[in-house]
Amino acid sequence: MSRLRAVFIDRDGTINQERHYIYRIEDFELIPGAIEALRLLTHQQINIYIITNQSGIARGYFTEEQYLQLTEYMLDIFKKEGVRVEKVLYCPHHPEGEVPEYRQDCLCRKPNTKLLEDVISENDYTADEIALIGDKEIDIETGARLGITTYLVLTGYGKEYREVTTATFIQPDLLSAVKHLLGEVTK
């Protein structure tokens, strides 16, 4: 890998504890080591993009406004901890959603790659300058479609995919993945 410029990181189950359609601030809990991992990337001047499917919006479990409030809360925590996030990318759609304006089979829902492609294009990233970290095979498939290095973490749903993953690497958690990724970059 040449100089790492950006990392795309899944949110639920990778950065914060998986709580199944989380939208309430009181249910948001960071996975141990997540802040340290994000801080390491920030200190190395590696751009952080959080990418998350939020089908709970389309399903009517919570509103887009509630999602955005939780996102703002999360970003406030990160800012206080010295973490810089370039952008939070999210897909509110689902083809079987209950909310008509969000019921669609879109190009932004992982494993589709539109959200990442837009960021890659805007920043002139090449495949060897970026990586993706997530806890589901859908995350790994997203990265594979773009030809980038992928990490499956064993937090969230990760253990369910351990035996079937096509991830480049498997790590116990986000902190381990980031340390490995930074070690790979310096080799």
Describe the crossing of helices 114-123 and 137-146 by its angle, rounded to 10 degrees: 40
Write down the catalytic residue from 12, 135, 139, 173.
Answer: 12
Nearest alpha-carbon partner for 67 in 46, 47, 45, 90: 90
- Counting as low any pLDDT under 70, the low residues of the chain are 1-2, 184-187
**Is position 76 annotated as part of the catalytic site?**
no
Question: Is 105 an annotated catalytic residue?
Answer: no
3-state secondary structure 81-101: CCCCCCEEEEECCECCCCCHH
**Annotated catalytic residue, options 10, 135, 139, 173:** 10
Single out the residue of 6, 10, 2, 1 nearest to residue 136, CA to CA: 10
Instruction: State the Cα–Cα distance between residues 92 and 59, nearest whole angstrom.
Output: 9
Predicted TM-score (pTM) of the model is 0.95
Q: Any idea what DSSP says for residue 163?
A: T
User: What is residue 2's predicted lDDT score, i.e. its pLDDT?
Assistant: 60
As a whole number of angstroms, the distance between CA 10 and CA 13 comes to: 8
pLDDT of amino acid 156:
97
Instruction: Enumerate the domain spans of the chain.
Output: 6-186
Distance CA 186, CA 3 (A): 8
pLDDT of residue 187: 45
The CATH architecture annotation of domain 6-186 reads: 3-Layer(aba) Sandwich (3.40)
